[in-house]
Structures are given as C-alpha cells and as structure tokens.
A = this chain, B = another copy of it.
Amino acid sequence: MDRGSWNGDSMTADARPAAPALTERQEARRRRILHASAQLASRGGFEAVQMREVAEAAGVALGTLYRYFPSKIHLLVATMQDQLQHLHTTLRKRPPAGEDAAQRVAETLMRAFRALQREPHLADAMVRALTFADRSVSPEVDTVSRLTTAIILDAMGLEHPTPEQLSAVRVIEHTWHSALITWLSGRASIAQVKIDIETVCRLIDLTAEPDRG
C-alpha cells in the first residue's frame, strides 16, 4: 500500500498532511505532553498513562491535551513515533554489521528489543496502543509502520526492494509486533522472541536477489 507520498527524505516523519505550523509555545506544549506521556508510561505502562495526569504533568488543560491528541491511543502512537525516530537515528549512526541481510535485520530487531527491555512499561504502553488502535488512528499507525519498514530496509541495505521482498518485510513486521505482545503479556520469554525473530528473518534468504546468487 503506497498511500503516502509526503516528503520522507528527512527522518522527521512529518506525518500531518497540512501540519498547521505550530507556534513556538505550541511546539513546546506538544513536547511537554509527549514527554509526560513517555514518563508516565515508563512508570506503569498503558494504564498508568491517564489523560488527566498527562495534562497535569505537562501543565496544560485537559481540553488542550485532547486538542493536540484526540485520544489516548493517538497520544501513545505519537509517543511511539517519537521513540522510533530516535531509534532510527541511532541505528543510522551504528548500522548492524552482519554478513547477510537476514543477520543484519535480526541484529537490528534484537537491538530494538533490548532497548525495549530497558523500558518494559513504556514498551507495553506503546505496543498495546499500536495494536489496539482502530481506524481513526490509521494514518498515525501507518506512519509508525512506514518508519519500521524503513528501519528494516535500511538493515537489509536495499534501495529498491522487489514486491517479494516487501512481502517478507511485512511478515517480519507482523512477527515483530506480535512477538512483542506475547513477551509483554508474559506468554513468551526473551529467548523465545529471539528465536521467532531469527526464524522469520530466514524468509529474507528466500527472496535474495537472484542475480546475486
């Protein structure tokens, strides 16, 4: 699905089609809100992010919070965008060093996974919001998905992936999200997530460019 064509070169993921050019104070408010959200999420996960508390911690009125983020899910998905942006930047500085594409992707995802393990509550809030989001949050979720895709393609070292390869990437993303869910809900161990990631990354080998052998 190639619905978006907004400028993607800078990694700013400027998700709004017509971002109404916030004033400085508004930009600051937005940052304070996202910061408060991440802070509360880090403490107690999804349920600890309570809109009244976010508003208070960010120093804005409840109505204002809802003007910036029309629901708790929107807020948490935006928080995830924010975090992914950081990760992407970090990864670009120190790219994975594996032999083949599958290894590099697995390494990249395991790095992301370790980052999440350091803030499991935050991970809980973000991932639960992401998978619980309904249609009204689709544009934002899609942005997260595109970011994730970009990270994986970076790891694969591909500029112009084939449709087959894009399918493999989508399946990897599916596995990534769902494996995180099972880990967060205590139904799978860290080791198991690792295995699942490595398993799904073998799909990449199946779609290696034929002209490379």
Contacts and interface: CB of A to CB of B under 8 A. Distances in A.
Interface of A: 1, 46, 128, 131-135, 137-138, 141-142, 145, 164, 167-168, 170-171, 173-175, 177-179, 181-182, 185-189, 192, 195-196, 199-200, 202-203, 206
By secondary structure, the A interface counts as: helix
A138 B178 contact: no
Nearest to A142: B187
Nearest to A188: B1
Given A46-B134, A174-B200, 18 more contacts: A1-B188, A1-B192, A131-B131, A131-B132, A135-B186, A137-B185, A138-B185, A138-B186, A141-B187, A167-B195, A167-B199, A171-B196, A174-B179, A175-B200, A177-B178, A199-B203, A202-B203, A203-B203
A73 to B, nearest CB: 11
